[in-house]
Structure 1
Amino acid sequence: MNTDELLDRAGNLKEALVVYASSPGFARRLSQAMSDFSGLGGGEQNQWAEAVESLLYDPDQGGREPLLDRYLRTNKNIEPDERLVYEGWRERNVIGVFRVDARKGARLSLHNLIDQMDYDSYATAGAEAISFVQRGGYVMTRLVPIGDLWTISGTMRLFGPRDLPGVKTLAASLLKRFPTLVFNNPAKVEQGRRIVGEHHTTFLNLFDAHMVSGTGADIIAAYRGFLDACSEASVAANPKASALVTAAEQIAPDDSFPPDLAESDDVALYHHPLMGVSFLVCYGQVEAAHRTPPANAEDPAAEVLRGYVEDKTVPGYVLEDLAAKYPDTVDAAYRAALSSPGFRWEHDGVALLRLHKPNFTRDKELPGVTPVPSSLIDEYRRLS
């Protein structure tokens, strides 16, 4: 297909998704998504369009799958070639705040302030639809691929060159809400992995293990000690970084920890070599359930194990780690907790985690630390 044919096709395919996302069955989710975008301003029409985009491409706050995933899963009548396009949108869509470097016909040359990548992008509605976009200005939008092209999906928020301070704040807010946006850039993935790897070494040097346990108060103190140790290591490697160091009590004040963690007698601080830090309440009880399997599903130990399985905030790798630690008893633990006599962790564990952990696959690929672009650091820190 030539460029015009590809753009027409993208426009038609996108229209089908918008009709789907704005259907009555998703009204409640759409209303919540509009509320989520209200803090970014831009008027009700922009909020509606951005809410539709978010529903299509992003998991909601409850961890439910993006509607594009649902559309692909439930609609068996999609033509194979169209399905390939939609799958490309699911895997490679890019939401960002972009500097407009050039405009020619229906094409915009854009530089993303978040992932620091350049995108030649096309308006599916043609040159007239972007005739008002100002070179040297900024736009907030989402891009999706078709063929070798990037196309503009949904609405665009427009800003002039003099709006740069507010634009930076908007970009930092977007990155704060969706930390993985920066990882569209492969170099940022490698940078994030390097940072987490350095933090993991610091954690191991500090605690002689990848996990430390104790009361909530113990773990808060341990975490702050870890933050200070990371800062010290950063300054040792680069003395200029001392100007960016923030005290651990400011990064992690008392009110940043939920009461159930702070008041618990059973908390673990876990550091993964790729994903970084996790706080795990009742970890000792869950480990005990692996070591000594519960008698049946009504056993309190079975209940706490099910809670870890179903809690989307508990990383899947924590349960994988426990399964590897207790290979002789893990099957019995899950058979009792799930009332599933035939359960075998070796065969059924991955499927169980994929069902309950929306980020299970991502946790094996992307680092848990976001490398913030230097141009956005000040705004990002002010939002923290």
Structure 2
Amino acid sequence: MSTPVTKLVSLSGELKGELVEFAQQPCFGRHLTARLRAAGSSGLLDEGVAVRTVDHFALQHRFHDGTTVVERFVAQRRPPLTADERAMLLGWRNVVEGLFEVYRADGLDGTVVLHNLIDDLHYPVCSNMGSEALTVLEQGMFTYGRIVPVHPATGHWLVSGYLSPYPQSSGPDVAQAALQMATANPSLLHRNSDLSRRAWQMQAEDRAAFIEVFGSDLVILAPATAQEQLTEHHRRRLEATASAETGGMSAADSSPGAEELGRLPEDYMQADSIGLIYDEAEGLNYYLDFGRLDTLFADPALAGDHTHIAHLRAYLSDDTVSPLPLRRLVQRHPDGADAVFRTLLRKPGFSWTHDGEDLLRSRKKSFFQHETVPSFSVVGERLAELLRTPH
């Protein structure tokens, strides 16, 4: 692709305007209105939040068929887009959201270099609103925002939505916010292979320590026992972290004590049992009344009991629960799986071997659309430095 970056940036402004207009069509109204209401639920919906919400909706919101607004726009746009235009728009799905430090702001071509404190990478960033749109950013300042590739064939990035600038003096507060973002959403660091590798290593070490305490990567316990052993697990890990020499800083380094880390939600403490599964890929997850499901798969005759089958139906229907617990139940009780699912689905010919994965892909679609990321976050040297800076 030989099109100059400046021309691509100019073209992006025209196409982004068309895309935003497309996203606000009446056919998407119900979905977009729900997103805007959710964004403003804690107070007034200011311009920056509104713009970012529409931007996220246009580029990342997935409908039940798995498609996004931008994908539908690319398919339906008339006259059809050129190959370069298609590649540009579809490349915008690769959104980087972060808190950035302005590393260099003297680009003669209107480009500023932003250092993402979360993934510890540098991005040369342009704006399709003109170079003056970035003049508010001075070296050493911070900003929160979203950027997308100008085009997959270039190394330049484009402001997508709205940038919120912060003065250089706000560094410690920005750093704390970046740490919270990284901890809440470890996928934000996946573009940095070194940080991602270290995060996977930390998860593997934590899983090994979990197995040492619990005896297995899957246990079913009474809530009080689970609470006690989780606290012990986190106590050991915090001691190990405090004594280890690391090249960076993990999110755990700024975490509370073992008791708070191991504290289960109140509704879990009221359950009959809790299933703890520490998967190699998905990390540690808790499951309410998992013992009831384990008993069901061990004795498929219980499928005739409404309580047991309704609990399984809830697990299968809940789009926040991954396929993991169902797969592990089948692994534990392979002889009971077919009978249980035949009753649940009212399909006498159902076979987990032949139909199980198709069932999961149908009912748990969102979990097959994204790459699995570690549940741990590791921060880079600059963020670690800012976190150590006194307020």
TM-score interval, smaller chain: 0.7 to 0.9
**Separation (CA, whole Å) in 1 of partners of 2:180 and 2:386:** 8
**Separation (CA, whole Å) in 2 of partners of 1:343 and 1:83:** 42
Q: Which one of the candidate residues 289, 294, 319 is aligned to 1:287?
A: 294
TM-score normalized by the length of structure 1: 0.83
**Separation (CA, whole Å) in 2 of partners of 1:236 and 1:163:** 31
- The Cα shift of 1:157 comes to 0.9
For 1:97, give the aligned amino acid.
L
- Work out the percentage of aligned pairs sharing the same amino acid: 24
| Alignment pair present for 1:269 and 2:268 | no
Query: Matched residue pairs, number?
Result: 371
- The Cα shift of 1:368 comes to 1.5
TM-score normalized by the length of structure 2: 0.82
Conserved 8 A contact 2:110-2:134: yes
Q: Deviations over 1:312-354 (max 9, x none)?
A: 3333222222223333332232222122344333343333333
Structure of higher RCO (CA pairs closer than 8 Å, 6+ residues apart): 2
Conserved 8 A contact 1:224-1:248: yes
| Alignment pair present for 1:309 and 2:316 | yes
| Alignment pair present for 1:87 and 2:90 | yes
Conserved 8 A contact 2:203-2:376: yes
Q: What does residue 356 of structure 2 align with?
A: 349
Q: Secondary structure of 1:154's partner? A: coil
**Separation (CA, whole Å) in 2 of partners of 1:231 and 1:213:** 24
Q: What does residue 127 of structure 2 align with?
A: 123
Q: Which one of the candidate residues 318, 336, 339 is aligned to 1:332?
A: 339
Conserved 8 A contact 1:276-1:368: yes
**Against the structure 1 CA distance between its residues 54 and 33, is the aligned structure 2 distance closer, same or farther, given a 3 Å change threshold?**
farther
- The Cα shift of 1:218 comes to 1.3
- The Cα shift of 1:67 comes to 9.5
**Separation (CA, whole Å) in 2 of partners of 1:193 and 1:239:** 15
Q: Which one of the candidate residues 212, 217, 220 is aligned to 1:210?
A: 217
Alignment RMSD: 3.4
Within-5 A mapping of 1:10-49: 10-23=12-25, 24-35=29-40, 44-49=46-51
Q: Which one of the candidate residues 164, 181, 184 is aligned to 2:171?
A: 164
For 1:34, give the aligned amino acid.
A
- The Cα shift of 1:375 comes to 5.3
Q: Secondary structure of 2:334's partner? A: coil
Conserved 8 A contact 1:353-1:360: no
Conserved 8 A contact 2:203-2:283: yes
Q: Which one of the candidate residues 259, 275, 282 is aligned to 1:249?
A: 259
Structure 1 residue ranges without an equivalent (≥5): none
Structure 2 residue ranges without an equivalent (≥5): none
Q: Deviations over 1:183-224 (max 9, x none)?
A: 221112111110010011111212221122221111111211
**Separation (CA, whole Å) in 1 of partners of 2:219 and 2:345:** 28
For 1:95, give the aligned amino acid.
E
Conserved 8 A contact 1:96-1:140: yes
Q: What does residue 69 of structure 1 align with?
A: 68
- The Cα shift of 1:58 comes to 4.9
- The Cα shift of 1:275 comes to 2.4
